[in-house]
Amino acid sequence: MIILIIILVVAALIGFGLYNSLVGKKNQVENAFASIDVFLKKRYDLIPNLVATVKQYMQHEADTLTKVTEMRARATSGSVGTDEKVEINNQLSAGLGRIMVAVEAYPELKANENFNQLQRTLNETEEQLSAARRAFNASVTDFNNAVEMFPTNILAGMMGYTRRTLLVTPEAERANVNVGDLFKR
């Protein structure tokens, strides 16, 4: 009788432990996703400044600048869903990348102290953003492992947890990495 009780108590404790670790992992994923938002917001804040600084120098890139401004407005409007938001931000990355490449053709702009500072901040934000994405992917992997591996998969099935998808960098943005090479990152 006592043995049976002990077995039950131990089994219950293990069950609680597994349950809590699953919930913890799920929250970790959500937390990581939210922190991407923090850095996206930081990037939105930079864009008006950047556009204002480069506008007077870059007449030929007026198109790109307008587009970037528009996309920023759409992304911050609050009426877009998650998928759409990801899409807009991918385009935004590509647009910013184009601007940074185009800068090479404007020596006065490159010499501008204000622009330099903006460029540094933007570099930093992009790097933080990519760190946040990687952190998100790491926590999703952790979560997915728990959902699929024994014994947590049994519990996950009962809780209705399913695999999450990783954030994948689209082609356009991979090209953006080459922009970094231009600046000898």
Partner 1 sequence: MSDRSAFQDFHATTLARPLAELEARRLSITKFAYAAFAPLGLMAVIFATGVRENGVIAYVLLGLTALGLGGWFYYLQSDFRDDFKREIVTRVIGFFSPGLRYNPKSRISRTQFETGDIFQHRIDRYNGEDHVTGQLGQTAFEFSELHAEYKTTTRTKNGTQTHWHTIFKGLYFIADFNKDFRGDTVVLPDSLQSAFGFLGQKLQSLNFSRGQLIKLEDPEFEKAFVVYSDDQIEARYILTPALMQRMVELKRKVGGRVYFAFTGSKVHVAIPTSKDHFEPRIFSTLLDVSAIEQYYHDLQLISGIIEDLNLNTRIWTKA
Contact residues: partner 1, CB under 8 A: 32, 35, 117, 119-121, 123-124, 127-128, 130-132, 134-135, 137-139, 141-142, 183-185
Angle between helices 2-55 and 62-76 (to 10 degrees): 140
Q: Which residue's CB is nearer to partner 1, number 41 or number 120?
A: 120
In the complex, minimum distance from the CB of residue 44 to partner 1, in angstroms, rounded to a whole number: 18
- The residues, any chain, with a CB within 8 Å of residue 26's CB and separated by 6 or more, are 143, 161
Q: Which residue's CB is nearer to partner 1, number 69 or number 128?
A: 128
In the complex, minimum distance from the CB of residue 114 to partner 1, in angstroms, rounded to a whole number: 13
Report residue 150: phi and psi, to 5°. Answer: -75, 140
In the complex, minimum distance from the CB of residue 40 to partner 1, in angstroms, rounded to a whole number: 13
In the complex, minimum distance from the CB of residue 4 to partner 1, in angstroms, rounded to a whole number: 30
Q: Which residue's CB is nearer to partner 1, number 124 or number 171?
A: 124
CA dist 5 and 1 (Å) reads 6
Question: Could you tell me the CA-to-CA distances from 69 to 31, 95, 124 in Å, in that order?
Answer: 28, 10, 20
